[in-house]
Amino acid sequence: MADLTVTITESCVLNNADQGGTHTLTVSGVDDVYKRIVTCTNDVDTTLAVFKVDDHTGDSAVDIENVNYIRVTNLDSANSVNISLQIDTGADGADHQTTILLNAGKSFMMGGADEHIATSDDGAALDTTLNDLESIIAHPTGSAAAQVEIFIASVVA
């Protein structure tokens, strides 16, 4: 087992005053890491990760209950990538999704996959009924391929 240390540092001096900050997160007891750098072909959906109740129930699946940290980084220096979070609201596979735009060089992070995401079409109402993340899919927005890195750390209970 190992500790995962994640440090986020912002550095911005505005009007001679430091407006940045540093935040450090430590996830203890990590004993499983899933890391891939994937070239995503333009105009094609590329599955970066699949989450299942047991990792042996799907090809290259990650055990959803053990995930403690997820990071997706767009390694491309010019092109954006759509990141689709496939959401399972009923334990029968993805039935909802939400997509975020990940600009060149940017990262997206989540703290887990088991009951960590909600989606709603009820206007601006806050939905606190959290569901499972079923998978993460990348789709480049331009006419060129883009490289994406995914890193997942799990703690087996």
Could you tell me the CATH number of the domain that includes residue 56? 2.60.120
Please, are residues 93 and 52 in contact by the beta-carbon 8 Å criterion?
Answer: no
pLDDT tens-place string over residues 31-78 = 999 999 999 999 999 999 999 986 566 667 899 999 999 999 999 999
Number of domains into which the chain is organized: 1
The count of residues in the chain is 157
Is the Cβ–Cβ distance between 50 and 58 less than 8 Å? yes
pLDDT over 80 (residue 3): yes
Q: Structural domain of residue 81, as residue ranges?
A: 31-154
The pLDDT score that the predictor gives to residue 54 is 67
Residue 87 falls inside a structural domain? yes
Domain assignment of residue 73, yes or no: yes
pTM of model > 0.85:
yes
**pLDDT for residue 92 is more than 80:** no
Q: Is residue 84 in some structural domain?
A: yes
Residue 129 lies in a domain: yes
In a domain, 5, yes or no: no
Q: Is residue 16 part of a domain?
A: no
Residue 133 resides in a domain: yes
Residue 18 lies in a domain: no
Average pLDDT score, the chain: 92
**Rounded-to-integer distance, Cα 49 and Cα 72, Å:** 10
